[in-house]
Amino acid sequence: MNVPLLDLQAQYVSLRDGLHQAIERVMVSQRFVLGDEVRQLESSIADYCQAKHAIACASGSDALLLALMALDIQAGDEVITTPFSFFATAAAITRLGGRPVFVDIDPQTYNLDTSRVADAITPRTKVIMPVHLYGQCAQMDPLLELGKRHRLAVVEDAAQAIGATDNERRAGSMGLVGCFSFYPTKNLGGAGDGGILTTNDDEMAQRLRRLRTHGGVTEYEHSEVGINSRLDELQAAVLRVKLPSLDEWSEERGKKAAIYSRLLHDAQLSFPLIIPYVREEGRHIFHQYVIRVPGNRDALMEHLKTRGVGTKVYYPIPLHRQECFSYLGYKEGDFPESESAARETLALPVYPELTEAQQAYVVDAIRSFPH
């Protein structure tokens, strides 16, 4: 049996007609950038994320960049974030000359350890940027409280977490700005790159709209320098076809996760394997199902590959160990939890159409690992 890490074909087959009609609608309109499709997507995403505004842009990476531009991050400003994330999280900060100030993660959730954030605040701190990793919200209340107390903006990197909740609040609705990615592998993925920002703040929404179109107040009048980060109509049309299924897909992912956790628990493995921890206070949308295998991760990954099971490591090198950030002066050992997560974690295949037989096969393959 072959179990790929992700199978987008299955989703495509189920939505084929709707997708083709949507693409045709855009082709017939010959309107390709920031038109009605984008406006309607923005309105639906704002509703879905329980935010007042949604502003579409070209990618999740640009969403982060735009959010920090709108907060006037510049040389020397500090942004507190996690070193255990996708590269874009820190890159958005450094592209503006800002300084990522990393805080280690909670080893259970892989999200920012909120108890350590206060110690990282300095007079130069401008923003706290938690990442809702793998589809589970960071613990937001302590961060919002710190933000309020120190007058810092909280920006949510919710690229992996559309529809996740923390105490009934949706990802992207809690901080000043939420940043989402529509990269094809995300729970809500387009047919290419795409992203969106959410905010409840009217002025922030207006500024983000300007910044994504070169800072233009009108087409040829510019109050500031922005970037070109518009969403295509084709992407918006595709995403609009998919959005009504998103909750069902995320529920299915949650069910698959529960099945894995039960099967792995019952498998009586002869080596340590830690299943994902799910916070009681929220909804985990299982963008990834990530296990932890102390000491054996790479060998298990190799073994699963020979058995036809796709796996992936998110992320093998923590951000403070990336060569391009060596100037920040961090060294091995500075963030031990992130470093051990980078050594020990492994994502198993999870997607709504994954079958129970496939899951049983994956767990059997894990059980047969000769360590």
Ligand X SMILES: Cc1ncc(COP(=O)(O)O)c(C=O)c1O
Interacting residue ranges for ligand X, rule: CB under 6 A: 59-61, 64, 85-86, 88-89, 131, 157, 159-160, 181, 183, 193, 195
Looking at the Cβ atoms of 242 and 303, the one nearer to ligand X is 242
CB of 214 to ligand X, least distance (A): 19
Looking at the Cβ atoms of 236 and 365, the one nearer to ligand X is 236
User: Alpha-carbon distance 84 to 133, whole Å?
Assistant: 9
CB of 138 to ligand X, least distance (A): 11
CB of 52 to ligand X, least distance (A): 23
Number of Cβ atoms within 10 Å of the Cβ of 49: 23
User: Alpha-carbon distance 64 to 77, whole Å?
Assistant: 15
Vertex 172 angle, CA 244 and 47, to 5°: 40
Number of Cβ atoms within 10 Å of the Cβ of 361: 18
Tokens for 193, please give them: 């790159």
CB of 130 to ligand X, least distance (A): 10
CB of 87 to ligand X, least distance (A): 8
Looking at the Cβ atoms of 56 and 88, the one nearer to ligand X is 88
Looking at the Cβ atoms of 81 and 311, the one nearer to ligand X is 81
CB of 133 to ligand X, least distance (A): 7
Side-chain half-sphere CA neighbours of 118 within 13 A: 6
Looking at the Cβ atoms of 129 and 363, the one nearer to ligand X is 129
- Helix, strand, coil share of the chain (percent; to 5): 45, 15, 40
Q: Is 318 helix (H, G, I), strand (E, B) or coil?
A: coil
Looking at the Cβ atoms of 131 and 197, the one nearer to ligand X is 131
Helical pair 297-306 and 356-367, crossing angle rounded to 10 deg: 120
CB of 197 to ligand X, least distance (A): 12
**Using omega within 30 degrees of 0 as the cis cutoff, is the peptide bond preceding 315 cis?**
yes
- Give the residue nearest to ligand X (CB): 60
Nearest-Å Rg of the Cα atoms of the chain is: 21
Looking at the Cβ atoms of 290 and 300, the one nearer to ligand X is 290
Exposure string (b/e) for 50-68, b if CB count within 10 Å is 16 or more?
Answer: bbebbbbbbbbbbbbbbbb
Q: Which amino acid is at 163?
A: G
Whether 111 and 85 have beta carbons less than 8 Å apart is answered as no
For residue 25, what are the CA distances in angstroms to 55, 237, 284? 22, 8, 34
CB of 352 to ligand X, least distance (A): 19
Looking at the Cβ atoms of 61 and 311, the one nearer to ligand X is 61
For residue 271, what are the CA distances in angstroms to 80, 197, 339? 36, 43, 21
